[in-house]
Amino acid sequence: MSDMINTETINKLKASGLIELKSVGSLLDPDIGCIYPQNEDGTPDYGCEISLYDGEVSAEWWESLSQEDYNVCKPYY
Give the model confidence (pLDDT) of 25-67 as tens digits: 999 999 999 999 999 988 899 999 999 988 889 999 999 999 9
For the CA atoms of 35, 41, 45, 46, the dihedral, rounded to the nearest 10 degrees, stands at 90
State the pLDDT confidence band at 1, using cuts at 50, 70 and 90.
very low
The pLDDT value recorded for residue 4 is 58
Distances (CA, A) of 23 to 66, 72: 6, 12
**pTM more than 0.75:** yes
In this prediction, residues 7-24 reach a mean pLDDT of: 77
